Amino acid sequence: MEKKVLQVLLIMLFAIGIITLGATTSPAAENVIKIGAPLPLTGDYAADGEHMLMGLQLAEEDLNAAGGILGRPVKLVTFDIKNLAAEDVNASAEYLIKKEKVDVIIEGYGGFGPDWLTFGARYNVPFFHGSGSNKANSMTANDPKTYSNMFQVFSPETEYGKRAYEGLTYFEKFYKYPNKKIALVFGDFDWDITYTKAVKDLAEKDGWEIVLNEKVPYGTTDWGAIMTKIRKSKPSAICISILSVSDISSFVKQFMENPTPSLLDISYMVVFTEVQDAVGEGLKGVMGYVTSYVLPTKEGQEWKARFKKKFDMEVPLTTSPSTYDSVMIWVKAVEAVGDPTKYDEINAFVKAHPYKGLLGVYDFNNPGQGVSPSKDFPIAYSQYEGGGKLAFFGVDEFKLPPYIVPPWPKK
């Protein structure tokens, strides 16, 4: 009899334990606010994907250290979109929004089209991206109801092209250019096409001769035909935009085998350590834009110090600050609205209220809901100095590239 009573008591205690455990863990799990991040963690864009992730991880850490959002803990949930194929982007939405039920989507970039159609058109969950695309702004402006949740945290490619032209003509203040000829090479990709077209339009307006305006397929590593045309015309400036480490590295190395006396812009790829390592000191003097230049404010310097402490590296000039800022823009809206699931109210708040972040003032109060360059949100342009260091336009001194021999005559 005593044995049966003991068994019953044990069963009751076990049951009570299960009920108690369920009561303490389930609400805690439900209390978490999730940040969804479709990122290229493997594949051709993995280096950028890692930097995107770092910014998000630091944001998650900072928020939880401060007590979370609305007193609730924050959890980062990622999904690998690999080489940005549409099927992987679609799968990320199924996982992040439908399964994990995240309350915001933050990416660095995620397909330059499939991501907009997936996260912008199909859901009203706030969606922050750094595609830097005129097309994304146009989609939002032309269909504001469908894309009211889509916010672009980088200026469009046309503005980067304008900045590149400023860089390529910077030396006119100090040197006599041998001619007003410019060569343009671009990949078969909207960003590349629009970036170089912006350079072309400004150059033609200023009386430059376009001696080469050629589209090439991604995967080009033999540049013999292009080099022949460049060496024949000897332009004062060359602008090439192909967002591929192997393609750009091979171009620069082959150009440096017998360089023409030309300034060289390689767009975004100048910031990649993989390109710097592949080309070596031959990259000295080469120029290109920077998407993520943390402003030299007190807050910016403190953030850079925290980043270095956490990851044991300097802040990369790619996407870490922008993904961090994206999280904080959303957090400000959530705290103002008071509920992370009131997506339409959060989206309306983000659009109506500028946010001062690491990269400048994000102002989405325009038809395209994307930032534009201004004194409060500058586009950084750089020149490679060697040893992994960059000089920045408007901040540091640019020097005539050492491969221009003899140097152009000074004015």
Counting residues of the chain whose pLDDT is more than 70, the rounded percentage is 93
Tokens found for residue 206: 């200023």
CA angle 115, 118, 123 (to 5 degrees): 125
**Model confidence, pTM:** 0.88
Q: Please write the tens of the pLDDT for every residue from 38-89.
A: 999 999 889 899 999 999 999 999 999 999 999 999 999 999 999 999 999 9
Q: How far, rounded to the nearest angstrom, does the alpha carbon of residue 86 sit from its chain's CA centroid?
A: 19
Q: How far apart are CA 352 and CA 29, in angstroms?
A: 32
Q: Residue 328, exposed/middle/buried by CB under 10 A (0-12, 13-18, 19+)?
A: middle
Query: Is residue 108 a contact partner of residue 84, using CB atoms and an 8 Å limit?
Result: no
Domain segments of the chain: what residues? 32-154+295-362, 158-290+379-392
Dihedral pair phi/psi, residue 108, rounded to 5° = -80, -60
Q: Is the dihedral of CA 317, 326, 267, 120 positive or negative?
A: positive
Q: Do domains 32-154+295-362 and 158-290+379-392 have the same CATH topology?
A: yes
Topology given in CATH for the domain delimited by 32-154+295-362? Rossmann fold (3.40.50)
Q: How far apart are CA 304 and CA 299, in angstroms?
A: 9
Class of domain 158-290+379-392: alpha beta
What pLDDT, on a 0 to 100 scale, did the predictor assign at position 10? 36
Q: Please write the tens of the pLDDT for every residue from 313-348.
A: 999 989 999 999 999 999 999 999 999 999 999 999
Centre a 10 Å sphere on the Cβ of residue 291 and count the other Cβ atoms it contains: 23
Give every residue of the chain whose pLDDT is below 50, as ranges: 1-27
Q: Residue 102, exposed/middle/buried by CB under 10 A (0-12, 13-18, 19+)?
A: buried
